[in-house]
Amino acid sequence: MPFIPVIFLLAACSGDSTQVADEPPIRIDPVIERPTEPPLVNSATAFDGPLVKADQASASRFIKNGIYSATLNYVNSFKDEGANPTATQDSSSATGDFSTTNTQESGVDEADRIEYDGQTLYLAAYPQWHGETTEPAKIRVLNRQDDFSLESMAELPVLEKDSHIEGMYQHNDRLAVLSTTAQFYAVDILFAPTPWIPSDQKLSLDIYNTAIPSNPSTVSNIKIDGNMISSRRIGDAVYLVTSYTAYVDGLKLDAITDAEILANYLTILNTPDSQLMPKIYRDGDQGTPLHGIEECVIPSQATDKDGYAQLLSITRISLTDPNDYQSRCISSVAEMVYMSEVNLYLGSSVTEETILHKVSLDQNLTYQATGKAQGIIGWRSAPNLRLSEKDGYLRIVSTTYSKQGPEHKLSILNQQGGELKVVATLPNEGSPEPIGKPGEDIYAVRFLGDRAYIVTFERIDPLYVIDLANPNAPSVLGALEIPGFSNYLHPLDNGYLLGVGQQVNVNNIPEDGRVTIQPVIQEGMKVSLFDVTDPSHPVEVNSLVKLGGYTPVEYDYRALTVLNTDGNYKFALPTESWNFRANDREGAWVSSFSLMLLEVDTRSNSPELIKRSEIRPSLQTESYVNGAQDRSVIHGDNVYYIHGNHVWQSTWAEKAAVFGPY
């Protein structure tokens, strides 16, 4: 993946930032010496040193250098080609009567397309196209009846036209709906906006009062300039991570001569600082800057030749009082967000290192420290699951790639002053064995308390159990080798672990361990139950395989529904499979969707993974929708299966009737 620099800009803002009319602030943009020839600036890079609050002139120069560098990179790419530029992750296992969204950290909610409070189901419906007509995205509000059927009560339109719903949060009597005018990408380095192309992309946060679910009322409509990168919720506070690049009018894209390039630089230099900042818009107002440029922290190692074009803001908004918000900013390359209950970490992988910035979730969202770990995080499965924080220690699993193959390392960092300092790594002297065999890459990582579980794979799936009880001396406790691999690991009570991934053809794996050139054939979805009560000898208790199928849980853990009743687990996994059906003249590939219901009682003397049922609703009248966003809810012995924009209802009993669609 090509590296595209991203700037994180977080600054302070509290409450209503509108200025008093009769006492306007005195804001004079810094005067920077005007050059007479195109200046030289450095390409954007990641700094591994601390961040500092600079004066307005330094912060302004840093950001404008970044914009100028972006235009130079664009122009140089066409110069080189001779082209014409004008040509065309501890998850919450829900306890109680009903399930909630599966998340990485207990107490840290993650946005999803469904929300359920035991009585009302909120479903984010996709936009649909019917010939020449379009049905826009909306929120369906469905009420649970006594027999667990559903009745449609209301529909909430997305307030911004042609928006895509990115997810929702439901807390007490507030429903928060996140939407954007652009497709959401999990990392902010993809399709980064440019300073020479106008962009009206905004993240919308629509907050509704759902005290009367049949008649929700709008509490607030908030928009923030830029693209959404990530979000989380703790209590009634929603945390939004957004990226933004200012548009600078008058830039000449086909600038070739020194005079034209200098003109571009002077145009950027003459742009007022306030026009480089993202704005926040509340309830249709004209918008105010989310933060001032002088409030930003920038790398202490940056010179007057360094800079970044993009800005990233972290904003906290109260669902109870949307006028209560704070925004903090860090100026740095970053491509990943991990958040615990007490801190937020921004990470970037550059030149075989991962740079990490720590921000406290205190009242002021205070920047704390910066550090680095050897290796990069990578993009297989969910990158945020490779990080975990416990008792002030950050644990991270990273990989260094070379001609000799991938080399994996677990690093433990602790804040010492303004530095995140590596205090221990694995492998180490006491536990020198490598994580994974030669050629194996990491497919899944999961942390639970003082343990870490790591799955590596090339032809065989080794599951490693790591001891983290002593943060200064991590060690490998045990390992298990089985055919197939897990893309996602889910910790259970009483020393058990659920793995979700793919089965492979064991006929292609020689018993003597020889490396062959035969490709590994993935045969279908595999769900395994692991017993890790004896960490030195982990055991696969049993597994279930669905040939020719896969589940979105493999790459999106929110698709897994979990209901934990004192150690008795119910799981629901949506599945999709394709089969070739031949007829007299020609054949066709036919899709099949279902919701697999599994159960594990970790309290029994011999726990095992049991398939209880598989809900297969009739979709003959439905247009094809892939299963990537399929979801489900478990409420007692009742189950709701969401596919596309509809819901089906059934029970936990085998071969139970399926009702719907609702």
Proportion of the chain in helix, strand, coil states, percent, rounded to 5:
10, 45, 45
Of the three residues 547, 565, 594, the one that is the final residue of a domain is 547
Is residue 146 situated within a structural domain?
Answer: no
**In 3-state terms, what secondary structure has residue 151?**
strand
Percent of the chain surpassing pLDDT 90:
59
Question: pLDDT tens, 301-314?
Answer: 999 999 988 888 99
Check whether residue 484 and residue 379 sit in a common domain: yes
Where a domain ends, among 547, 582, 613?
Answer: 547
Q: Is the pLDDT of residue 183 over 60?
A: no
Does residue 399 share a domain with residue 461?
A: yes
Does residue 398 belong to any structural domain of this protein?
A: yes
State whether 492 and 598 are in the same domain.
no
463 lies in which domain range? 375-547
| Mean pLDDT to the nearest integer, 364-381 | 90
* Amino acid at site 213: P
Cα separation, 640 vs 488, whole angstroms: 23
Question: What average pLDDT does the structure give for the chain?
Answer: 85
**290 Cβ contact list (under 8 Å, min separation 6):** 11, 13, 224, 225, 277, 278, 279, 280, 313, 315, 327
Domain match, 383 and 493 both: yes
Q: How confident is the model at residue 190 (pLDDT cuts 50, 70, 90)?
A: very low
Same domain for 520 and 394:
yes
List pLDDT tens digits, range 374-389: 999 977 778 999 999 9
d(CA 227, CA 431): 44
Assigned domain for 639 exists:
yes
Distances (CA, A) of 636 to 324, 413, 489, 609, 613: 38, 42, 24, 19, 15
Domain match, 537 and 565 both: no
Number of domains in the chain: 2
**Residue 28: pLDDT over 50:** no
Over residues 36-55, the mean pLDDT reads 85
Domain limit, last residue, from 515, 547, 579: 547
- Please check whether residue 78 lies inside any domain of the structure: no
**pLDDT value of position 602:** 97
The 10s digit of each residue's pLDDT in 240-291 is: 988 888 899 999 888 889 999 999 999 999 999 999 999 999 998 999 999 9
333, burial (CB in 10 Å: exposed 0-12, middle 13-18, buried 19+): buried
Say if 413 falls within a structural domain: yes
Residues 523, 578 within the same domain: no
Same domain (yes/no): 524, 584: no
pTM (two decimals): 0.88
Residues linked to residue 387 through DSSP beta bridges, in sequence order: 396
Q: How deeply is 353 buried, as exposed, middle or buried, from its count of CB atoms within 10 A (0-12, 13-18, 19+)?
A: middle
Residue 174 lies in a domain: no
Q: Do 489 and 587 fall within a single domain?
A: no
**Judgement on whether residues 510 and 602 belong to the same structural domain of the protein:** no
Please tell me the predicted confidence (pLDDT) of residue 479: 94
306 occurs within a structural domain? no
Place 96 in a pLDDT band, splitting at 50, 70 and 90. Answer: confident
> Up-side HSE of residue 129: CA atoms within 13 Å toward CB?
5
- 492 and 450 in a common domain: yes
pLDDT band at 91 (very low <50, low <70, confident <90, very high): low
Q: What is the mean pLDDT of residues 323-336?
A: 86
Helices 258-269 and 56-81 cross at an angle (nearest 10°) of 150
From 537, 448, 365, 334, select the one nearest 105 (Cα to Cα): 448
One domain for residues 435 and 503: yes
**Of 85-99, 159-173, 215-229, 366-380, where does mean pLDDT reach its minimum?**
85-99
pLDDT at 354 over 50: yes
Question: Would residue 451 count as lying in a domain?
Answer: yes
